[in-house]
Structure 1
Amino acid sequence: MKDYLVRGIVESKNCRVFACQTTELLEVARKKHGLWPTASAALGRMMSATLMMGAMNKNHEKMTITINGGGPIGSMIASTNSDGKIKAFVANPEVHYTYNDTGKLAVGVAVGKEGTLQVIKDMGLKEPFVGTVPLKSGEIGDDFSYYFMVSEQIPSVVSLGVLVNDTNEILSSGGFIIQLLPDASEEDIEYIENKMKDFPAVSSLIHEGKTPEDILKMLFDDVDILESQDLAFECDCSKDKMSGALMTVGKDEIQAMIDEDHGCEMRCHFCNTAYQFSEDELKELLKQMK
């Protein structure tokens, strides 16, 4: 089943809702980065939340989210242009922890909680919008809920999940977000709280074949689905962009690459694609810099 997200509204409960399935795009990321299970779970949760946040932006503005909780996974970065395409990476993909009592993937341990979640939105203005909040748990969902409350003053439920099999392949990935609208009443809040008490894990629902629409209808009988958007892991790197990055290292460094290695390799952080530059290509870059 293809990856996609849906956006909807529940007028009777004064909230807007988002749900997504990201199984295939996380499997692409897993293969590109060589992610171990807990790293897959952390990055999958983060990408699901980032894509749903992207769907909240009407003007397809670029959004980059960084999480660094001081844990062994290091920094995690995801970037989208709010067009359903995302690129992302973790500093250390070879991380795997489980909780002793449940056996579940210990995302909070891998990420840590001594750090921040930062959202940068480039809205085409002189300065981008930057919102930063301290991490609450490192489990990703709680941290995005806290971000919405503190930075955007929107009470939100954020549920994210990833299921990985014994051979590290992604069985399911996705999530949903419920956001209260200004007219929400105490009854609306109570309804949502009661719904969430025994609601099944979103990763299990997706693994069972439930669609994003199905999940939202389990939460709200009368949800009105407004639109859907296809999702994919896709990087916009190129050799030209890598050339530009190379030119920032300085003439001396490039000359050293020519003299010592007779060329170089540049690798994209986001998709792990390697670009080779020959000695002649480096010499041409030096000419352009002069």
Structure 2
Amino acid sequence: MSDYIVRATAADDSIRAFAMTGRETVEFARKAHETSPVVTAALGRLLCAGAMMGSMMKGEKDVLTLMVRGTGPIKGMTVTAKSNGFVKGYPQEPVVLLPARESDGKLDVGAAVGGGYLTVIKDLGLKEPYSGQVPLRTGEIAEDLTYYFAESEQVASSVGLGVLMEKNNTVKQAGGFIIQLMPDVTDEVIDALEKKISTISSVTTMLDNGYTPEKILEEILGDFDLHIYEERIETGFKCDCSRRKVEKVLHGIDKHELQNMIDDDIPVGVECHFCNTKYLFSKDELRRILVE
């Protein structure tokens, strides 16, 4: 298992925590969408967050969707995650070229995303899915999710996310953590945890130094009676699109439109937003769909 998520508790169960490594997940997305480095970093952070947040859900059919709509050149990103840990996602603009941040020379994800909104939708199989929306605070994704948890779910949290690129623009490291305080946490624990988090290295630095998800949680919560669950949750980029599902979409198209496609006498291509897989339908296939 290469990419995986671990779960943990600490401080007599008054803290719950998640951490993951997701290099292959983000590299798959980079290849599928042919993203530029800053888009890879932005989408990669959202994918890692989605995978961890998806693993928080209980039901096998529960689905989480994260949507970022920003004023920056990326314009927006969408990530969908399931409770089994697998994710998929896409950017609206895959290629964005921006200068590095002057302060530290790192990719300027905040400028690429810009201002706007973060929307979280949880489909738990109820009549109506839960939906929460907050304004983007920085566009850096981690800070925006920290704000979302506090405002929409009333859960004090610390979110760390990172994507480190190689010089050839492939993904070198990716991952993150989510630390959340439960209602019975004491002020003493809160103060000590805030002090500890203020001293830790960035997610990419820890990953590049060989830290596993377990080691990341030990670095943050090792002084808080940390208990890491033995089960690792496998994660990765996994799209559930199929030719059959696309055909169902074509069945919903107006008959006159389908007939126009047939009259054009060229194969019709339908592309999946999430993984860029293209499905071609011949004139004979379109005619069969029209009859059906």
The two structures have a TM-score, normalised by structure 1, of 0.96
- 2:102 is matched with which residue? 100
**How far apart in 2 are the matches of 1:167 and 1:211?**
24
Q: Judge conservation of contact 2:51–2:82 (CA < 8 Å) in 1.
A: no
- 1:257 is matched with which residue? 261
**How far apart in 2 are the matches of 1:9 and 1:58?**
17
Q: Judge conservation of contact 1:13–1:188 (CA < 8 Å) in 2.
A: no
**How far apart in 1 are the matches of 2:9 and 2:106?**
32
3-state DSSP class of the match of 2:107? coil
**How far apart in 1 are the matches of 2:38 and 2:285?**
40
Deviation at 1:252, TM superposition (A): 2.0
Tell me, which stretches of 5 or more residues in structure 2 are unaligned? none
- 1:279 is matched with which residue? 283
- 1:18 is matched with which residue? 18
Q: Which runs of 4+ in 1 moved over 3 A?
A: none
Q: What is the aligned-residue RMSD (CA, Å)?
A: 1.3
**How far apart in 2 are the matches of 1:263 and 1:251?**
17
Q: Judge conservation of contact 2:33–2:276 (CA < 8 Å) in 1.
A: yes
Deviates more, 1:8-17 or 1:68-77: 8-17
Q: Deviations over 1:231-283 (max 9, x none)?
A: 11110000111111223332222222211242201110000001010000011
Tell me, which stretches of 5 or more residues in structure 1 are unaligned? none
When residues 147 and 261 of structure 1 are mapped into structure 2, their CA distance, relative to the original with a 3 A threshold, is farther
Deviates more, 1:128-137 or 1:267-276: 128-137
- 2:42 is matched with which residue? 42
**How far apart in 1 are the matches of 2:82 and 2:239?**
11
Amino acid across the alignment from 1:109 = A
- 1:167 is matched with which residue? 168
3-state DSSP class of the match of 2:196? helix
Q: Judge conservation of contact 2:50–2:81 (CA < 8 Å) in 1.
A: yes
Q: Deviations over 1:41-84 (max 9, x none)?
A: 00111011111111111113111111111211022011112111
Amino acid across the alignment from 2:227 = D
Amino acid across the alignment from 1:45 = R
Q: Judge conservation of contact 1:172–1:204 (CA < 8 Å) in 2.
A: no
Deviation at 1:148, TM superposition (A): 0.4
Deviates more, 1:228-237 or 1:185-194: 185-194
- 1:119 is matched with which residue? 120
- 1:176 is matched with which residue? 177
